[in-house]
Structure 1
Amino acid sequence: MKARIWGARGSLPVALNHKQIRAKLVTALEGAIGRDLDTPEKVADYVDHELSFDVRGTYGGNSSCVEVAAWDADAVHEHIILDLGSGVRPLAGAKLAHYGPGQPQTYHVFMSHLHWDHIMGFPFFTPAYIPGNRIIIYGCHRELETAFRRQQEPISFPVPFDELPATIEFVQMTPGVPLQLRDVTVTAKLQLHAGDSYGYRLEQGGKAMVYSTDSEHKLDNASELATFVDFFRDADLVIFDAMYTLEDSISAKADWGHSSSVVGVELCQLAGVRQLCLFHHEPIYDDARISRVLAETRRYAEVTCEAPLEIVSAYDGMEITL
């Protein structure tokens, strides 16, 4: 399996502004002073190996959307998507560029919950406008279909849901009851969030990944934390809601339905997870702030983790192979 991050932001999409771009350019050019960067190769090497990621790149601005590549894309025209934030628009563009509009595809979409930042990309999901495509939307909320239909009512969007040419289906899941897609097993788990959210564990051929966003963890609830340790158990990858600092998550933003990177480390350490991916970045954080969170989290893990735990921070365009 491979996880492709198409949208890593939480709550709403964000974009770099001109001041942030200027700051990156100034930092890069200041670092180039005195260097003999007189060929394109030297410039590329400087950018790729001397500049930090928050200067040479960006964590991106699209809201939550993760693709799970589980099958040979040229042999099996079926795809797994986790959430339909604004990141699903570039995902759709990539699929159309690869397959063209003439090859029908099936998209299996698993919804963590129905807040707008996680469904807002669907009206711009091009495969929904192509006859022959099949889109199956899975979730544990009873209002699953209602949320998607309501979003495309005329007051909100010019194309009504019933006019979408693709075949669109909704499947109600039950938490804890595995669902089988070919050789991939998908299991949902209830999480603490306003209106409820659900994490997903996907298993294939001895590999396992967990997608757990929009989930708050009460540190004084040992029994509940234990259920998440079991859910994360021995996963190769956990994509984890690390929106807040630990201080905010237990004080000013307690009960807001999100978690912190420190809690992610603790849970993954107890569960024997191999790689933790920090996800659902706070929209007011710029690239430099997200990089500091990553560095601080890695330092914390070095001090506290008995077993190695690789930690990365999600960005739009990231690929993680299990």
Structure 2
Amino acid sequence: MKQVIFWGTRGSLPTAPTGQVIREKIIAALAAANGRSFRNRDALEQFVGGLPFTVNNTFGGNSSCVEIVTDGPDHLVCDMGSGARPLGQSKIARYGTPNPQTYHIFISHLHWDHLMGFPFFAPMYIPGNHIVIHGCHQQLEEAVRMQMRAPCFPVDYSQAGARIDFDLMTPDLPHEIGGVRVTPKLQLHTGDSYGYRFDSAEKSVVYSTDSEHKLDDLASFDSFARFFAKADLVIFDAMYSLAEATSVKADWGHSSNVVGVELCQAAAAKRLALFHHEPAHDDAQLFRLFEESIRFEQITRGDRPPLDIVSAYDGLTINL
């Protein structure tokens, strides 16, 4: 495995920035540029690159979709939220048609925000492509077909040009898929959710979203620490702050940034990507949670190696 590309990082539903949010970013950028002059575009690019993330960028608004890039010819994708649309467009732009490709798609669970991008995934309409949808839910195929059925969608599932197969996986059992060993794990979430661990000869990635971790359930904590053990990257559902996760939003099926740090520390993981961002949080709020996560890791590190923390955003690419 070489890279991880985030095509959608929001939880629950896609969330676009408002006009007011964009206006505030422009005002902040102009204020920072006050009194300065720029000779050319390169000077402008350098200036913009030096602005805070919350001014020159955004965490984005697409729901969950993450690509794992390997050395092999097959494409590995976790979930098909609305981020699947730009993912599909990028594949068409790169490979064109006809140029048959194989896509392995791993579905964490069947809630709409993790499936809604599939009808907009352009490779599914191209003859010659092969799409294998992997998951642990008995209703996996029905859930995918159902959202492409009248009156929900104008294009019926039967109109897909690609060959589409469904693979019902067994939790806790390693599966060799696309040149990678993939192991699913049951997680606490309404209707059940499954995390996936991807292991190649040299690298390991864990995709663990839509999972709630109870602070008093030590057996579960230890089980997930083993699942995350020494991973090069853990993509973790950090939808809430610890206060939210343990109070008003307890039993909502999601976790917090603090628990993500604690699990990765216990697992001796190398890098944590905060993921599945709360749709009500704007860029400034998400960045504060990111900074709080870094501070929490520093004060609880002890004699353990540092844990690298990133907050995932649409378009982020991480080299493994």
**Secondary structure of the structure 2 residue equivalent to 1:273:** coil
Partner of 1:32: 33
Give the counterpart letter for 1:70 in structure 2. T
In the TM superposition, 1:38-117 aligns within 5 A as 38-49=39-50, 51-71=51-71, 76=73, 78-117=74-113
Shift in Å, 1:182:
4.1
Q: Does 1:302 align with 2:303?
A: no
Give distance in 2, aligned partners of 1:64 and 1:105: 22
Give distance in 1, aligned partners of 2:66 and 2:33: 36
Shift in Å, 1:63:
0.2
CA deviation vs aligned residue, 1:169-228 (integer Å, no higher than 9, x gap): 100001110110243100000000000000000011221010000000001000011000
Partner of 1:170: 166
Partner of 1:184: 180
In the TM superposition, 1:172-321 aligns within 5 A as 172-305=168-301, 306-321=304-319
Shift in Å, 1:161:
1.2
Give the counterpart letter for 1:4 in structure 2. I
Give the counterpart letter for 2:275 in structure 1. F
Q: 1:141 to 1:223 in 2, by over 3 A?
A: same
What TM-score, normalized to structure 1?
0.97
Q: CA RMSD in A?
A: 0.9
Shift in Å, 1:166:
1.1
Give aligned pairs, total.
317
Give distance in 2, aligned partners of 1:84 and 1:101: 22
The more displaced of 37-46 and 158-167 is 37-46
Percent of aligned pairs sharing the same letter: 54
Give distance in 1, aligned partners of 2:203 and 2:42: 39
Partner of 2:133: 137
**Gap regions ≥5 residues in structure 2:** none
Give distance in 1, aligned partners of 2:218 and 2:141: 35
Q: 1:93 to 1:42 in 2, by over 3 A?
A: same
The more displaced of 154-163 and 278-287 is 154-163
**Conserved in 1, the CA contact under 8 Å of 2:135 and 2:169?**
yes
Give the counterpart letter for 2:207 in structure 1. Y
Give distance in 2, aligned partners of 1:63 and 1:182: 24
**Secondary structure of the structure 2 residue equivalent to 1:98:** helix
**Secondary structure of the structure 1 residue equivalent to 2:234:** strand
Shift in Å, 1:164:
1.3
CA deviation vs aligned residue, 1:215-245 (integer Å, no higher than 9, x gap): 0000100001100000000000000000001
Give distance in 1, aligned partners of 2:126 and 2:179: 27
